[in-house]
Structure 1
């Protein structure tokens, strides 16, 4: 039985160009911080990769800070900005966020609240997961001098909804407040231009767009002050010390360039597959509920379709599909082995039962119509068995 992989939002296979770029560097010796010829060669690879990423994403090369991935990039932006802003003005203790952020954002914010005196205010979202702009402006206007930063993800990793970043930036700019965005799911799937977006920091991750695991970047305006998380050799503008992973960075840059180059046509292809998937699911399971953007939406992530299946436990349905060769994910996180309802769906107004009955199907560059059809063929019987088991 062949396996159909529909979990590309978790990680997607490396693109051929990324594999080639990375493997070309694996046998080469040289620390990019060394001054001898091998070190200079390694440094040249890093800087050329930095320039390639900057050109693809509309920023200056000096604004690309390499990290171990999206989680570190989010932590560096949130903690680094918060600490720097508090050092300038101890009254800036508030951080405005949405309740639908990835845990790479929510958990650092929770930590800052518990250990660093931060006050976290959540901006509500509507039934599709889109933040309320009026509520954001109200929160900013309440005590503008106390706001250290605003964070709003570019596109949601569970349901695919995009946030109105131009409105967020405009509202924050009125009060001189910097904006961070987690764009881990957006880069390569949607047009992303750092300078045009007007945000101050942006997180991205290599393995979400066809690059290797374990590498990512924070785009940060050159004049922005960030307090480092890691101290050591002073690499990456002295805000992210550590020996640079030259092969991974080379693969990362190749993947970004390839994904951005083909973004428009790939998005159109994936939107067609998503419509096919949504139509097939609704045909096989008429009472399935599509969460997030509607099927015809052209602004959300093109490759994500998130459904609730009434009468099912999402984990059980996932395992039944897995046994039938279809791999996807639930819309929930697990803590200590105990399934938790998706915080994203709860913030969108779903009840706990609906949140627990959800699955995310995410498409990627290798996905085909045959993959979608295999899911649709397996889904009906699996839903029947999941409902029977629960009953």
Structure 2
């Protein structure tokens, strides 16, 4: 990347670190399932990578919990949800209820909608006004599921919203579901919170969840690897089953030869990020303070400019910036032309013309959601990046008019 370019789209993907690239290039090329020496070398590296990533989640070396490697966060989410739906013989008239936070990532929302439309599942979306899950609405939904005989089989709550930065109280929501439906699989998509919140804030044990999704390319590893944590409770009760039968790799939950170079890169980035987590969090918080002051200053000149600030806790890495009378796409193109790279929300659904479900769930109107950009940063950014963004934003606000 050129010196005059400023990358502030870290929630979409991150540049692989030097240690992650070295680990990728040093990874054994053999098949970990082969019994000869070349395969055994690969299997040993795979085992070490699993232990390294597991350690960042607080998993002891000797445990009946399991960490399986996948290709990405989307695959991990699908295995968790669809595997839970397929695990038990269901009453075709009342197969069950799926609970999600409103504005959940499409890799959970879309398969849930398919279960709803094709198999008759009920899907309840917990309202999240201003980024705070409505626990009263969740309690009401749990009671209705009991009364109607539609047992909750899966409940999924993201740890950090990928567009607003809202940090959800996963522990409280998980506890409510657990008390009402002990056999439900309680899942957390931790992709945006992993190695960005302080230690133990993304531990599945601390959050009280059964399954958890991680993604390598969000933490400065190469693309092509994700992970899914499975608790011993889920495995023992067979509350999740494989949804893609094959050779039985990854404990049978994710068949297919493991992508060891990407997994090795994942493990290296995880170890590096975990050991340096406190200083990374401090630096990002400092950068966010600079951004917030700059937005506040500009808002005095440009009424309507502001931040979509969650009512509860928020992650400093993600800032949702509300533009006055300028479409997101217009501002994105303007900033991109100046070498300043931000986004209009989730990169996974950027090609869609639909309004952001996360922003609508947050409480924005359609027209407001169409005038929001996401600035996402981490420890690799500098104050120069923030200054360039604020300068470019001011120039754009001064010169752009809303395109109908």
Task: Tell me which residue corresponds to 1:5.
Answer: 7
Match of 2:289 among 268, 271, 275: 275
Paired residue secondary structure (2:172): helix
Where in structure 1 are there 5+ consecutive unaligned residues? none
Residue 187 (structure 2) aligns with: 180
Count of matched residue positions in the alignment of Structure 1 and Structure 2? 384
In structure 1, the residue matched to 2:117 is 114
TM-score calculated relative to the size of structure 2? 0.90
Are residue 288 (structure 1) and residue 293 (structure 2) matched? no
Q: How far apart, CA to CA, are the structure 2 residues paired with 1:90 and 1:214?
A: 39
Unmatched tracts of structure 2, length 5 or more: none
What is the alpha-carbon distance in structure 2 between the residues aligned to residue 308 and residue 50 of structure 1? 41
Q: 1:282: Cα distance to partner?
A: 2.5
Matched-pair contact (CA < 8 Å) for 1:63–1:219:
yes
Instruction: Report the equivalent of 2:51.
Output: 51
- 1:229-271: CA deviations, max 9, x gaps? 2111001111110001111111101111111222222112101
- After superposition, the Cα gap between the structure-2 partners of 1:334 and 1:75, relative to the gap in structure 1 and judged at 3 Å, is closer
Distance apart, 1:140 and its partner CA: 0.8
* Deviation of the 1:289 alpha carbon: 2.4
Bigger drift between 101-110 and 314-323 goes to 101-110
**Do 2:344 and 2:350's aligned partners in 1 also have CA atoms closer than 8 Å?**
no
C-alpha distance after superposition, 1:150-208 (max 9, x if no partner): 11101100010011111111101112132111000010101311222110100010000
User: 1:97: Cα distance to partner?
Assistant: 1.0
Query: Aligned pair in 2 of structure 1 residues 334, 43: CA closer, same or farther (>3 Å)?
Result: closer
Partner of 1:210: 220
Aligned residue number for residue 34 of structure 1: 34
- Per the alignment, residue 17 of structure 1 pairs with 19
Deviations 1:287-333 (A, max 9, x none): 31211337xx7x42221111111200000000001111100000377
State the alpha-carbon separation in 2 of the partners of residues 216 and 337 from structure 1. Answer: 23
Contact 1:181 1:202 in 2 (8 A): yes
Alpha-carbon distance in 1 for matches of 2:194, 2:351: 31
Q: Is 1:69 the counterpart of 2:72 in the alignment?
A: yes
Q: CA deviation at 1:364?
A: 2.0
Residues 305 and 360 of structure 1 are in contact (CA less than 8 Å); yes or no, is this contact kept in structure 2? yes
* Residue of structure 1 aligned with 2:157, choices 152, 156, 180: 152
1:200 equivalenced with 2:186 (yes/no):
no
The whole-number CA distance in structure 1 between the counterparts of 2:170 and 2:107 is: 19
- CA–CA distance in structure 2, aligned partners of residues 22 and 338 of structure 1: 33
Give the CA RMSD over aligned residues. Answer: 2.1
Q: Do the aligned partners of 1:313 and 1:386 also contact (CA within 8 Å) in 2? A: no
Determine if contact 1:281/1:379 at 8 Å carries over to the other structure. no
Matched, 1:264 2:278: yes
Give distance in 2, aligned partners of 1:55 and 1:337.
36
> What are the Cα deviations for residues 96-143 of structure 1, in whole angstroms up to 9, with x where unaligned?
1121211111111112112232211111112x2211111111111222
- Aligned counterparts of 2:56 and 2:68: Cα–Cα separation in 1: 15
Trace 1:1-391 onto structure 2 (pairs within 5 A): 2-25=4-27, 28-59=28-59, 62-87=65-90, 91-126=94-129, 128-144=130-146, 146-175=151-180, 176=182, 177-190=184-197, 191-224=201-234, 225=238, 226-286=240-300, 287-293=304-310, 299-331=313-345, 339-387=353-401, 389-390=402-403
1:43-74 Cα deviation digits (max 9, x unpaired)? 00000110111111123565101000100000
Q: TM-score by structure 1 length?
A: 0.93
